[in-house]
């Protein structure tokens, strides 16, 4: 079996990415690092080369959709079974790779992804085109999920693309929706990943900048139903105002 793992990084050294170290341990996994970094002090290309990974620079932060699409284009001339999408802040256990090798590449596979506190964030249930967390994957009737750990049959990456009008948020939900509309099966991979989140998400300026990206992406995704975008943005503002203890966040934008 031949597996390609795509790791998109942003202003982070590869040695600090747990998913980078996990993929390197697997003899049948070829790692492709796609670097969206804007910090010129980070030199991931040499570290990737020394580790035997392929490297693709986006020459700045072009967004996650364009990074994944660039990876798919890069891999077009290769043959293999799976393309696995990895986040730089996700712990990938050995069990994940063991389970993936047992699968036939005829469906997109979503592992169970939990936060460090144990909350399941993927897969999730789509209700009225809004992703909602569930307690157990067995209760899901209309499945969606996040990019982290998603395994896509190699042949699908030769044809399908992420919507590059979306910069970061909901690119995974749009991708899965497009796949399902074309009859692609989405299944759950019996493996669990743990995803951590950067602490600087609770710094006001960085959080507000992140909120602006979310706002643009959500209004793009819900172009036909902008009230859904407004609803989700308000939910995020309220959560952020509570986390930061700054009620003025509710008035932002």
- The domains of the chain are located at 3-195, 199-251
pLDDT in tens, the chain (253 residues): 999 999 999 999 999 998 999 999 999 999 999 999 999 889 899 999 999 999 999 999 999 999 999 999 999 999 999 999 999 888 899 999 999 999 999 999 999 999 999 999 999 999 999 999 999 999 999 999 999 999 999 999 999 999 999 999 999 999 999 999 999 999 999 999 999 865 444 577 788 888 999 999 999 999 999 999 999 999 999 988 998 888 888 888 7
3-state class percentages of the chain: helix first, strand second, coil last, to nearest 5: 40, 25, 35
State how far the Cα of 67 lies from the Cα of 75, in Å rounded to an integer: 12
Radius of gyration of the chain (CA): 18
Give the CATH class of 3-195.
alpha beta
Pairing between β-strand 90-91 and β-strand 186-195 as defined by DSSP bridges? antiparallel
Question: Any residues with CB less than 8 A from the CB of 168 and at least 6 apart, and which?
Answer: 63, 64, 65, 213, 214, 217
Token duo for residue 86: 């990895």
């Amino acid at each position: 079996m031949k597996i390609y793992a795509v790791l998109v990084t942003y202003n982070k050294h590869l040695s600090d990415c747990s998913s980078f170290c996990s993929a390197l341990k697997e003899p049948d996994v070829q790692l492709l690092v796609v670097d969206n970094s804007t910090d010129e002090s980070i030199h991931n290309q040499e570290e990737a080369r020394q580790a035997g990974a392929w490297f693709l620079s986006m020459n700045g932060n072009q967004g996650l959709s364009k990074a994944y699409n660039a990876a798919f284009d890069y891999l077009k001339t290769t043959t293999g079974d799976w393309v696995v999408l990895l986040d730089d802040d996700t712990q990938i256990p050995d069990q994940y790779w063991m389970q993936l090798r047992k699968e036939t590449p005829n469906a997109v596979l979503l592992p169970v992804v939990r936060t460090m506190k144990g909350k399941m964030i993927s897969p999730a249930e789509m209700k009225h085109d809004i992703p909602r967390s569930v307690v157990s994957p067995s209760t899901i009737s209309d499945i969606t999920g996040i990019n982290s750990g998603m395994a896509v049959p190699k042949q699908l990456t030769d044809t399908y693309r992420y919507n590059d009008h979306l910069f970061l948020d909901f690119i995974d939900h749009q991708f899965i929706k497009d796949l399902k509309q074309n009859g692609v099966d989405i299944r759950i991979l019996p493996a669990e990943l743990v995803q951590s989140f950067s602490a600087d998400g609770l710094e006001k300026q960085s959080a507000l900048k992140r909120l602006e990206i979310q706002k643009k992406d959500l209004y793009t995704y819900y172009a036909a139903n902008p009230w859904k975008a407004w609803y989700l943005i308000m939910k995020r503002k309220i959560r952020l105002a509570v986390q930061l203890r700054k009620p003025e966040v509710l008035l932002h934008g």
